[in-house]
């Protein structure tokens, strides 16, 4: 077996061993065709089946029916920050945004460029910016908004919305969520959403493909701006993501991750696994709160995906990262603007890797 590291990268991030192994096995010969999945037309029935299976498996995982469309596109979630208001906001149209972190703020900024974006709530202004989720009040929302946008998990600072505190839109206002780094990490009712999008490279696949889930009826109603075909969501829905050549290999790997998730027991199994992993690391932070200083101030807002903390000094943090790397643990350095330590423990990161990190934290504490 290959040497495999304990992977705590924030994204692109760990993929399941089984997925990589399968991709490796059939890399030069996909299903006996004698070509790689990278080497065949996206119009060939073999690839059409790959994309259709990925879509069907995603819908099965989310419990969605024919009233929802799934798109697989390039460009990343950042691209969707622009596409969403571009498709929906005519001059003077409003949209509501909740700002719980850097990426949520970027989405909000693009909204302000394209139309009238309202800042419903932000936790940027806290003494420790984004150290907890913002307080969302419906009285700050606009009934005229085309949609309410929020970001489910804050990759950088380490807060996360769960189903019990997902923001609720006003009646008739679409609910839109950037789930890039929290997608399918816990059970939730996807039918409550009009649009969900997620860059694959955190929880569900490699970089280079973004999954967009759209309630068709809502998309027809709200996406009414005249746009170039490449930018038009409804045109993409009509063409089933095949208007132009899609990122084929990226879709294929994402589809393999969906199959892995289904085999593991679907989203409920991911939730169970992620809860155990989060408890393991936060348990260590709570055991030595003076040494491992969690960035997030409200424990109920702690992300299960990105665990952020500081050590007493920057020198100790550097030593921590270096010593961890020597023990084959990668990606623990915090985001460049924030510093400190960040352990990203998405769906694919194994409980064994997380336990290995927790044991290392115990040992590192004792020796310092």
Among residues 323, 330, 338, 339, the one that binds a second copy under rule CB under 8 A: 330
The neighbour count for residue 282, using CB atoms within 10 Å, is 20
| CB distance 180 to 199 below 8 Å | yes
Would you list the DSSP string of 245-303? ---HHHHHHHHHHHHHHHHHTHHHHHHHHHHHHHHHHHHHHHHSTTTSEES-S-GGGB-
Give me the residues paired with residue 210 across strands: 73, 199
12-51 footprint of a second copy as x/- string (CB under 8 A): xxxx-x--xx-xx--xxx--xxxxx-xxxxxxx-------
Nearer to a second copy among residue 31 and residue 168 (C-beta): 31
Nearer to a second copy among residue 147 and residue 291 (C-beta): 147
The position carrying tokens 């020796």 is 367
| 57, 59, 96, 103: the active-site residue | 103
Nearer to a second copy among residue 158 and residue 208 (C-beta): 208
Residues 141-180 that bind a second copy (CB under 8 A): none
At 17, give phi and psi (nearest 5°): -55, -45
In the complex, what is the shortest distance from the CB of residue 288 to a second copy, in angstroms, rounded to a whole number? 27
Nearer to a second copy among residue 63 and residue 76 (C-beta): 76
The whole-angstrom distance between residue 290's C-alpha and the CA centroid of its chain comes to 31
| 178, 218, 260, 333: the active-site residue | 178
At 24, give phi and psi (nearest 5°): -65, -45
Active site annotation includes 218: no
Nearer to a second copy among residue 3 and residue 366 (C-beta): 3
The neighbour count for residue 266, using CB atoms within 10 Å, is 17
- Give every CB contact of residue 300 below 8 A, 6+ residues apart in sequence: 165
In the complex, what is the shortest distance from the CB of residue 234 to a second copy, in angstroms, rounded to a whole number? 16
Residue 294 is encoded by which pair of tokens? 């969690």
Judged by CB under 8 A, does residue 338 bind a second copy?
no
Residues 183-202 that bind a second copy (CB under 8 A): 199, 201
The neighbour count for residue 129, using CB atoms within 10 Å, is 15
Judged by CB under 8 A, does residue 101 bind a second copy?
no
Residues 123, 126, 156, 117, Cα dihedral to 10°: 30
Count of chain residues binding a second copy (CB under 8 A): 66
Query: For 31-40, b where at least 16 C-beta lie within 10 A, e where not — what string?
Result: eeeeebbeeb
Active site annotation includes 103: yes
Nearer to a second copy among residue 29 and residue 359 (C-beta): 29
At 142, give phi and psi (nearest 5°): -100, 125
In the complex, what is the shortest distance from the CB of residue 233 to a second copy, in angstroms, rounded to a whole number? 14
Among residues 48, 53, 75, 116, the one that binds a second copy under rule CB under 8 A: 75
Beta pairing, strands 174-178 & 147-151: parallel
| 146, 202, 215, 277: the active-site residue | 202
Among residues 134, 182, 331, 334, the one that binds a second copy under rule CB under 8 A: 331
Judged by CB under 8 A, does residue 328 bind a second copy?
yes
Active site annotation includes 178: yes
Query: For 135-164, b where at least 16 C-beta lie within 10 A, e where not — what string?
Result: ebeeeebeeebbbbbbbbbbbbbbbbbbee
Residues 103-122 that bind a second copy (CB under 8 A): 110, 113
Which residues contact a second copy (rule: CB under 8 A)? 2-5, 7, 9-15, 17, 20-21, 23-24, 27-29, 32-36, 38-44, 73-79, 81-82, 110, 113, 199, 201, 206-209, 228-231, 243-250, 253, 328, 330-331, 336
Active site residues: 103, 178, 202
């Amino acid at each position: 077996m290959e040497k495999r590291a304990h992977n705590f990268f924030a994204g692109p991030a760990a993929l399941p061993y089984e997925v990589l192994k399968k991709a490796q096995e059939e890399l030069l010969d996909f299903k006996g065709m004698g070509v790689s999945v990278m080497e065949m037309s996206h119009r060939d029935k073999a690839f059409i089946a790959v994309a259709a299976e990925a879509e069907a498996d995603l819908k099965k995982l989310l419990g969605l029916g024919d009233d929802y469309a799934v798109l697989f596109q390039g460009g990343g979630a950042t691209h969707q920050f622009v596409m969403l208001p571009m498709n929906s906001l005519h001059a003077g149209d409003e949209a509501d945004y909740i700002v719980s972190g850097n990426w949520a703020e970027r989405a909000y900024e693009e909204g302000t460029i394209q139309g009238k974006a309202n800042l419903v709530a932000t936790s940027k202004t806290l003494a420790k910016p984004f150290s907890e989720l913002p307080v969302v009040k419906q009285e700050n929302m606009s009934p005229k908004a085309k949609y309410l946008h929020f970001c489910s998990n804050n990759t950088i600072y380490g807060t996360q919305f769960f189903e019990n505190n997902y923001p609720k839109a006003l009646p008739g206002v679409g609910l839109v969520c950037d789930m890039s780094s929290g997608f399918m990490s816990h059970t939730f009712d996807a039918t409550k959403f009009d649009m969900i999008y997620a860059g694959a490279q955190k929880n569900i696949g490699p970089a280079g493909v973004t999954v967009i889930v759209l309630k068709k009826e809502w998309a027809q109603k709200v996406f009414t701006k005249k746009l170039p075909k490449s930018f038009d969501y409804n045109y993409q829905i009509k063409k089933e993501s095949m208007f132009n050549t899609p990122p084929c290999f990226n879709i294929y790997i994402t589809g393999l991750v969906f199959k892995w998730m289904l085999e593991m027991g679907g989203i409920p199994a991911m939730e169970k696994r992620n809860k155990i992993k989060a408890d393991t690391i936060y348990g260590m932070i709570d055991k030595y709160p003076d040494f491992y200083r969690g960035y997030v101030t409200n424990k109920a807002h702690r992300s299960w995906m990105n665990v952020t903390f500081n050590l007493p000094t920057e020198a100790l943090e550097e030593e921590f990262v270096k010593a961890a790397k020597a023990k084959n643990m990668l990606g623990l350095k915090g985001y460049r603007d924030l510093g400190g330590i960040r352990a990203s423990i998405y769906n694919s990161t194994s409980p064994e890797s997380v336990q290995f990190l927790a044991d290392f934290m115990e040992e590192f504490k004792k020796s310092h």
